[in-house]
Structure 1
Amino acid sequence: MNQIKLFIDLVRLKKPIGFMLLFWPCAWGLTLAYDFSSNLNNYFFYLILFFLGAVLMRSAGCIVNDILDKEFDKKVFRTKNRPIASDQISIKLAILYVLILCFFALLILLNFNNFTIILALGSMPLAFTYPLMKRFTYWPQLFLGITFNYGLILGWTAIQNQIDLLPILFYLGAIFWTLGYDTIYGFQDIKDDEIIGLKSASIKFKDNAKSFIFLCYLILCISLFIIGYLINSNLYFYIFMVLPISHLFLYQINKFNSKNPDKCLEIFKSNNFLGLLVFINIFVGKII
């Protein structure tokens, strides 16, 4: 039972925000591409597959992150008790877990078309090298955005079996969404990161963080308006845009306080709700 508890802690199953932030872009891309005048069985089937894939790959990513960051995690108050950092789980066992999780993720991936399978396999280097970026650049959040929102492209290709301008524009906007929310998240560890020599957008923009995050979220919103225009969305799409815009700027930006780690975590977690709002927005634009 103790090993099960350690495994749950290792893959952050008690913290679903990680895999939900991986899942929402998949759902956005899928919904954007799907023809809702046809049978909905495939839509819900793919939605379930993307959710399971997000859980599995996020879990594997957490383990790889903890393996690579073991020595750094020991020096950070928030992460020092993680199973690998505290030597409760060995590196060998952790690698075995990664292989098992990736195997089940592959079984899920094989349900998609060949083009989507190839694209997904091509993203693996991104997924497993992201944790190294904070050693070399102040932009690890940008690499996370490229990785975490890749599912938006896959959601599109799962239906269309090709890449178009539409999902690429949306993907770029979503990258800036992640750049914004993960910069907020990074303020929890900024003091420890500066001491041990790690880099982040939180450190780079610590003196004007709110302006930087505002710009990131603005780019996401602009991309949503462009997408709405390109798919000839109805008026309801633009009316419903009030909801994600209000959440981003009236709640997240307005409440952001870089000196308050608890508030930063709360705002970061609220992006799960933002993901749902954008999902509803796309849905409304497609079917009403």
Structure 2
Amino acid sequence: MIDLTARVADSTGNWVDTHAPSWSRPYLRLSRFDRPIGSWLLLMPCWWSAALAAGISGNVRSLALTVVLFFIGAFVMRGAGCTWNDITDRDLDAKVERTRSRPIPAGQVSVAQAFAFLVLQALIGLAVLVQFNRFAILAGIASLAIVAIYPFMKRITWWPQVVLGLAFSWGALMGFAAEFERIGLIALVLYAGSISWVIGYDTIYAHQDAEDDALIGIKSTALLFGEKTKPALMIFYGLAVVLIGVALYLAAVRWPAWIGLAAFAAHLAWQIKRLELGNSELCKRVFYSNRDAGLLLFAGLLVDAVLRANM
């Protein structure tokens, strides 16, 4: 008999392992509710764009609702994306020590069950998306094409992190789509800055599996950069700060937003200094800390939006 309570190797001691009903645990693990960091990282560009767009329009009346909807949508759609990733990667996951205990390779969930769960999550995400205007709905649906191809990129390119950046940064466009029913230059520059950030932090994440990935033929920027990862991070993190700064300049933000960006930049610099590439546990902790970096920037943008709305 398959043990539904058996834990995923790199995720222990969380609420799913200790409090969730046993029947639900494989599904919650499929959607990574035992490790919500990815949902937070998907959410950050959504919140940045929502706050920045509200500051530009001078209207924060609907910002709280937008923030809540983006929160729900990010967690549900990241879960759907992870489920799709686990379906497509089930054979590869079985060959990697860190991932072989995931629900599908461990036999806790069948592919058919995982696909049904994927559809359910996608429907919940759609229910959230239809709360916005038609343009935002179409923009949100367009992101699914990138999500669908991402799991296959690690098989064909050394730069799968770029495709992840395209998907995980899509929220940088959504705030403007929801507020203005269009995507302009500011949104695109913010999107580009977020992509650079994602490439950086996911390179750190990929260093956890670098040895296994090399053995089974999986490509990543962690393997591409190797010992030159820190200089590469300086480039991508630096580019992220510059591009986001350009977006803020174009949006004519006030001092709270600049303080938020400075705190964000300082956090990224701290990550590079702290990082030890051969220490998988430290790579994981540094990767996780990007949620805090994103929240620092969001806090500055939020205060800026409120101040500008009350001018």
Q: TM-score range by the shorter chain?
A: over 0.9
SS at match of 1:187: helix
The two structures have a TM-score, normalised by structure 1, of: 0.96
Identity of aligned residues (%): 35
The answer on whether the counterparts of 1:228 and 1:285 sit within 8 Å (CA) in structure 2 is: no
Q: Any gaps of 5 or more consecutive residues in structure 2?
A: 1-20
CA shift for structure 1 position 39 = 5.4
CA displacement, residues 218-259 of structure 1 (integer Å, 9 cap, x when unaligned): 01110122122212222343344331111110x200011110
Residue 236 of structure 2 aligns with which residue?
A: 216
Distance in 2, matches of 1:39 and 1:138, equals 42
Distance in 2, matches of 1:20 and 1:7, equals 19
CA shift for structure 1 position 5 = 1.4
Counterpart residue type for residue 272 of structure 1: R
**Deviating more after overlay: 216-225 vs 27-36:** 27-36
Distance in 2, matches of 1:187 and 1:79, equals 14
Of 167, 173, 182, the match for 2:202: 182
Residue 249 of structure 2 aligns with which residue?
A: 229
Q: Matches of residues 114-125 of structure 1 in structure 2 within 5 Å?
A: 114-125=134-145
RMSD (CA atoms): 1.3
Of 300, 304, 307, the match for 1:281: 300
Of 50, 59, 70, the match for 2:90: 70
The answer on whether the counterparts of 1:179 and 1:216 sit within 8 Å (CA) in structure 2 is: yes
The two structures have a TM-score, normalised by structure 2, of: 0.89
Aligned residues: 286
Distance in 2, matches of 1:240 and 1:111, equals 29
CA shift for structure 1 position 156 = 1.1
The answer on whether the counterparts of 2:264 and 2:296 sit within 8 Å (CA) in structure 1 is: yes
The answer on whether the counterparts of 1:228 and 1:237 sit within 8 Å (CA) in structure 2 is: yes
SS at match of 2:179: helix
Matched, 1:263 2:282: yes
SS at match of 2:103: coil
Distance in 1, matches of 2:257 and 2:68, equals 25
Distance in 2, matches of 1:232 and 1:37, equals 12
Residue 10 of structure 2 aligns with which residue?
A: none
CA displacement, residues 154-186 of structure 1 (integer Å, 9 cap, x when unaligned): 111100101110010010010000000000000
Counterpart residue type for residue 280 of structure 1: A
Change (3 A) 1:38 1:197: closer
Distance in 2, matches of 1:239 and 1:147, equals 27
SS at match of 2:158: coil
Counterpart residue type for residue 262 of structure 1: E
